[in-house]
Amino acid sequence: MFKDHLQKKDAELVAEALKDAEAFGPIVERYEEKLLRYVRRFTGLSKQCCEDVVQEVFLKIYRNLNGFNPEMQFSSWAYRIAHNEAINYLRKNKQNVAPLETDDEEMGDLLDVLHADVDIVKDASKGELRKAVQEVLYEMPVKYREVLVLRYLEDLDYTSMGDVLKKSVGTIGTLLNRAKERFKRTAQKKNYSFFHFE
C-alpha cells in the first residue's frame, strides 16, 4: 500500500483524495517535510509556528483540491499556498522575523551561489558564514527574501518560481538580480568582514 502511494503521481493522489479524505494522507506525507522546511526558511518562525502554518496549508490544499490545475506542477501549487499562508501568518501576528538559532546546512547552498558574486574570505568558519547569511536574509524585504529562498534554498527553476509567486519568468529574473544586489548591500552595511565586495 505504502509503496503504491510512492509510485503514484501527484495528480493521481489528488483524484483519489477527492473521492476519499483518507487518501489525502499520502499527499501530506509527500509534501510535509518540504513545506515545513520552506516555511521555516522563508519566515524564520519557530518549529511549532511552522507546523501550525503548514497544517493550515494542507487544510487549504484539501479545500481547494478541485481548483488544482493539472497543467501546473502540484508542488508549485502547494508552495504557492504555503507562501500565501506564511505571509498571512506574518501579517496577522505582526511578528518580527528573528533568525533561528539553527545550523541550517542548506544556507551553505546560498553561500555557494553567492561565491559567484561575492568573494568570501577563506578563513571564515562555515558556522559563522551560515549565521551571517541567515541574519542578512532575514533583514531583507520579503519580496527579495522569497526569491532567494525559492531559488537557492528550495532549488526551484524560474518557471516554478513564477507559478509559486504568480509572476512572469521575466519578473522573477529581475527580482532575483535585485535580491542579490540587496543581499550584498545589506551584508556590506552589517560590516561582515568575511564578505568582500568589489
Pick from 86, 76, 84, 90: which is nearest to 31 by CA?
76
Q: Which of 9, 63, 143, 189 binds another protein (CB under 8 A)?
A: 63
Residue 58 near residue 10, CB atoms below 8 Å? no
Asked whether the beta carbons of 111 and 153 are under 8 A apart, the reply is no
Q: Does 25 bind another protein (CB under 8 A)?
A: yes
Given 54, 110, 149, 156, the residue binding another protein (CB under 8 A):
54
Q: What are the angstrom distances between the C-alpha of 187 and each of 15, 76, 98, 138, 150?
A: 47, 30, 16, 11, 20
Q: Is residue 198 near another protein by the rule CB under 8 A?
A: no
Helix (H) or strand (E) holding 160: helix 158-165
Interface residue with another protein, options 93, 157, 169, 189 (CB under 8 A): 169
Instruction: Point out which span in 4-12, 15-23, 81-89, 141-149 binds another protein (CB under 8 A).
Output: 15-23
Q: Which is nearer to another protein, 153 or 161 (CB)?
A: 161
Report the first-to-last Cα separation within the chain, whole angstroms: 57
Range 70-101 burial, b when 16+ CB lie within 10 A, else e: eeebbbbbbbbbbbebbeebbeeeeeeeebbe
Confirm or reject binding of residue 11 to another protein (CB under 8 A): no
Q: Which of 7, 66, 191, 193 binds another protein (CB under 8 A)?
A: 66
Stretch that binds another protein, among 93-101, 139-147, 163-171, 176-184 (CB under 8 A): 163-171
**Positions in the binding site for another protein (CB under 8 A):** 18, 21-22, 24-25, 28-29, 32, 36, 51, 54-55, 58-59, 62-67, 69, 162, 166-171
